[in-house]
Structure 1
Amino acid sequence: MAGEQKAKAKTEQAKGKVKEAAGRAVGNERMTAEGRAEQSKGDVRQSKEKAKDAFRH
């Protein structure tokens, strides 16, 4: 399960980066903000998984 969550975090981060870049390219501030939010969500998920790993070992 932990591997699945880590992969989901990376996916969210990547999707967020793409969405942010696309928003900037077309001048859509809302899309840019949504992309940043997705990246942040992925960052939080990744941090949570790293903390879990630290306590497991």
Structure 2
Amino acid sequence: MGELKDRAKGLANEAAGNVKQAVGRATNNPRLEGEGIAQERRGEVQNAKGKVKGALGDRI
């Protein structure tokens, strides 16, 4: 069950990060764009963590 939870959180963070990046670019706000990039990366890590948990059968 942890696999799906991590992957869902990861996808949500990636999506939110992409939105922040777009808004940051549109409003010429480099700080917001940077936050979006960081949030997208966190989402990618969470998604990868979920994939690893799935491969190992939630033993981690």
The TM-score normalised by the length of structure 1 is: 0.89
Q: Structure 1 unaligned runs (5+)?
A: none
Partner SS for 1:27: coil
Give the root-mean-square deviation of aligned CA atoms: 1.0
Higher relative CO (CA 8 A, sep ≥ 6), structure 1 or 2? 2
User: Are positions 1:31 and 2:52 aligned together?
Assistant: no
Runs of 4+ in structure 1 deviating by more than 3 angstroms, as ranges, are none
The TM-score normalised by the length of structure 2 is: 0.85
- How far did 1:2 drift? 2.5
Q: How many aligned positions are there?
A: 56
